[in-house]
């Protein structure tokens, strides 16, 4: 899915290492945007999957990294059904070994309330590496 008016942030970095995300430019997209940076070849993510992922989260408004599992000791594991709508809609079809860019509008993220370090009505930029699928 791409929105012709939005310029998606550039993502670089090798598989197995933390990505580098360029600060976004222009107006944030109003619909979910997805782009495979690295196409995986392993098991495919479905709506019912429990995922193990590495991820980096950047705020569109500031271009600053808010959170990254790469700085922790291990990847995150959770059922896809238990996370924000942007992940539930944007990750099915991704495969283990892949890296997917998700640009998530507030309506599919944390909305008007925000959450912790995520401000109200923030457009979220996630780069998600699929490590495992169950």
pTM of the model: 0.94
Residue 6 — pLDDT band, cuts 50, 70, 90? Answer: low
The tens digit of pLDDT for each residue in 113-127 reads 999 999 999 999 999
- CATH class in words for 31-133: alpha beta
First to last CA, the chain: 25
Residue 3 — pLDDT band, cuts 50, 70, 90? Answer: very low
Q: Is the pLDDT at 107 greater than 50, yes or no? A: yes
């Amino acid at each position: 899915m791409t929105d012709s008016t939005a310029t998606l942030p550039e993502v670089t970095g090798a598989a197995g290492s933390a990505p580098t995300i360029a600060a976004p430019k222009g107006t944030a997209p109003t619909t979910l945007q997805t782009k495979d940076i690295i196409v995986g070849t392993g098991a495919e993510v479905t709506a019912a999957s429990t995922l193990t992922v590495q991820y980096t989260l950047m705020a569109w408004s500031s271009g600053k990294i808010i959170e990254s599992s790469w700085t922790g000791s291990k990847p995150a594991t959770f059922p896809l059904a238990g996370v924000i709508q942007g992940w539930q809609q944007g990750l099915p079809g991704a495969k283990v070994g892949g890296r997917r860019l998700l640009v998530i509008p507030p309506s599919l993220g944390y909305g008007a309330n925000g959450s912790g370090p995520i401000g109200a009505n923030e457009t979220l930029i996630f780069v998600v590496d699929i490590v495992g699928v169950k």
